[in-house]
Amino acid sequence: MKADIKHDVVRCGHCVVRSDRDNEGAEMIRLDEVERAIEDIAAGRPVVVVDDADRENEGDIVFAAASATTQLMAFAVRHSSGVICVPAEGDWLDKLHVPLMVADNRDSMGTAFTVSVDATAGVTTGISAADRARTARVLADPNSVVTDVRRPGHVFALRCRAGGVMTRRGHTEATVDLLKLAGLAPVGVLVELINDDGTMKRGNQLREFADLHGIAMISIDSLVRYRRRRESLVSRCVVTRLPTPHGTFNAVGFSDEIDGAEHLAIVCGDIDGRAAVPVWVHPECALGDLFGSSACSCSSSLNAALETIAMEGLGVVVYVRQGPGVHRSYGTSNREPLASEVEMLGVRTCPTKMPRSAEAAAQILRDLGVISVQSRGSVPELATVLRAEGVEVVDDVAERADLFDDIVAAPSL
């Protein structure tokens, strides 16, 4: 059987075999095609979804809440710790007045737990498989109203982040994305798979479980790639001339279809179809870009990029607007920031690692007709995402250092 091998991915029939690690001797895990998972979800069957090795590195059983039966719920309980979660879009939960569990979320993965609920009618204690299946179906019913659920209960809804796996690579978002791709209500059920000794199932343990029960298994990464290939996540909205101290450039404005952010591509020269176009991706840093903060090199990096493309007569600077705002991004709240916030929100790092920088930039470059780049920015995932988009990466030069390694807290404002 002929297999197409590319970037550590082997396609063979309806399966994908890939390595979850880049190092030599990495564990190879056989994954099923996303199309099969979508078909199974639509048919009311469960699917195993695994996340990244550098995240939770575990697998969840997921299925449509509308398809929850006593038997399916009992199966989920039997192979998990028994905690039943119901991922759903925020609007769906708001309609039923199901609020977040806490206002100040300190979960290491930022999982948006809500208060626990039970269905108001048709349940007894709420803890049985039949009762929890009933609650899941009520949460997924578009005709349900506030009085159809009560709290506290035995089912935990999870609030999905807008944009799904393109904004957060979590099981919550993956579940909702699969449901929407299957044409179902954006309310699902997920449980974390465990071994008999209480440890988490990982790697080939998950594959063996899926094979034993005839369940499709996909990764969140493969779902991201599936959406990226089929969806346009940015749209061009304006083209104008931009005079700067470094020269006059073409500025192309883009609107982000996921979060509404307005990105900007600053273009010098004729880049359409050219080889090895120099590219910088600059995630927005309000304090650095606007005020020239000495706590980071964002302002100088942006100006250096513009100066370089002006001197070379060719290049693109993609300015990705995003982020949580000035205050939170620099840790100016009254509490000590969490480790996850330090990494994600820029207390120790500039916003080069903010979510979706690479995703948005890759789609912008594709829209501009760039087919071959020399990546000079420091968004770590850019080269990987560009290659997945079919763009040749001739060179990947990381120029911006991690500027905050030795800083415990950001400077006061």
d(CA 164, CA 230): 14
Domain end (from 229, 251, 267): 229
Q: Residues at the annotated binding site for Mg(2+)?
A: 56, 171
Same-domain pairing of 138 and 253: no
In a domain, 401, yes or no: no
Q: What is the pLDDT along the chain (413 residues), one digit of tens a residue?
A: 333 323 344 444 445 544 444 333 445 788 999 999 999 999 999 999 998 766 667 899 999 999 999 999 999 999 999 999 999 999 999 999 999 998 887 887 788 899 999 999 999 999 999 999 999 999 999 999 999 999 999 999 999 998 899 888 899 999 999 999 999 999 999 999 999 999 999 989 999 999 999 999 999 999 988 998 888 888 999 999 999 999 999 999 999 887 788 999 999 999 988 889 999 999 888 888 888 888 888 889 899 999 999 999 999 999 998 744 555 445 444 444 444 444 444 443 454 445 567 888 888 998 999 989 888 765 667 888 888 777 888 876 644 333 333 323 333 33
Same-domain pairing of 250 and 211: no
Specify the CATH number for the domain of residue 123.
Answer: 3.90.870.10
Q: Which residue, among 19, 6, 5, 132, has the nearest Cα to 74 in the 3D structure?
A: 132
Same-domain pairing of 44 and 91: yes
In a domain, 76, yes or no: yes
In the chain, the number of structural domains is: 2
Angle at the Cα of 52 (from 384 to 30), degrees rounded to 5?
A: 90
Domain end (from 213, 229, 245): 229
Domain end (from 214, 229, 244): 229
Same-domain pairing of 156 and 266: no
d(CA 90, CA 94): 6
Same-domain pairing of 248 and 154: no
Same-domain pairing of 221 and 241: no
In a domain, 265, yes or no: yes
Same-domain pairing of 55 and 114: yes
Exposed/middle/buried for residue 252 (C-beta within 10 Å: 0-12, 13-18, 19+): buried
Instruction: Write out the residue range of the structural domain in which residue 340 sits.
Output: 233-396
Same-domain pairing of 347 and 198: no
In a domain, 408, yes or no: no
Specify the CATH number for the domain of residue 367.
Answer: 3.40.50.10990
Q: Tell me the C-alpha to C-alpha distance, in Å, between residue 393 and each of 162, 295, 382, 390.
A: 30, 31, 9, 9
Same-domain pairing of 46 and 91: yes
Same-domain pairing of 265 and 335: yes
What 103-110 contacts at long range (C-beta under 8 Å, 24+ apart), as own/partner pairs, is: 104/335, 106/338, 108/338, 108/339, 108/340, 109/55, 109/56, 109/170, 109/340, 110/168, 110/170, 110/340, 110/344
In a domain, 162, yes or no: yes
In a domain, 412, yes or no: no
226 and 171 Cβ atoms separated by less than 8 Å? no
Same-domain pairing of 180 and 287: no
Please give the model's pTM, rounded to 2 decimal places: 0.70
Q: Residues at the annotated binding site?
A: 55-56, 60, 168-172
Q: Residues at the annotated binding site for D-ribulose 5-phosphate?
A: 55-56, 60, 168-172
In a domain, 131, yes or no: yes
Same-domain pairing of 119 and 187: yes
In a domain, 406, yes or no: no
